[in-house]
Amino acid sequence: MLSHHDRTELEKIERNLELSDPDLATALRDGRRPKSRALRSALLFAVDAVAVTLLVLGLILPDPGVTLCGILALTGTVWTHVARHRI
């Protein structure tokens, strides 16, 4: 059995985990593994590569539409990276 002090410390840790990372706390409570971010990361890097390719092609070719699409796609990926690391 745990002492009263140990139980209160574990409850503090549990509350802190609930506040800082609720998905992990739910996964630990339910006994399931947290969702893998590998597929999401791979997809994001693929979109990054497409955005950079569009931008480079737009700068090489005399087509402002491709350049604009590349700039918009790159802006979206940068925004996604920033929002992802803020959490």
Confidence (pTM):
0.55
Share of the chain above pLDDT 90, in %: 18
Please state the rounded mean pLDDT for residues 21-39: 76
| Per-residue confidence (pLDDT) for residue 87, from 0 to 100 | 58
Q: What is the distance between the alpha carbons of residues 77 and 44, in angstroms, rounded to a whole number?
A: 8
Q: DSSP labels for the chain?
A: ---HHHHHHHHHHHHHHHHH-HHHHHHHHHT-PPPP-HHHHHHHHHHHHHHHHHHHHHHHTT-HHHHHHHHHHHHHHHHHHHHHHH-
Residue 34 clears pLDDT 70, i.e. is over it: no
| Per-residue confidence (pLDDT) for residue 20, from 0 to 100 | 85
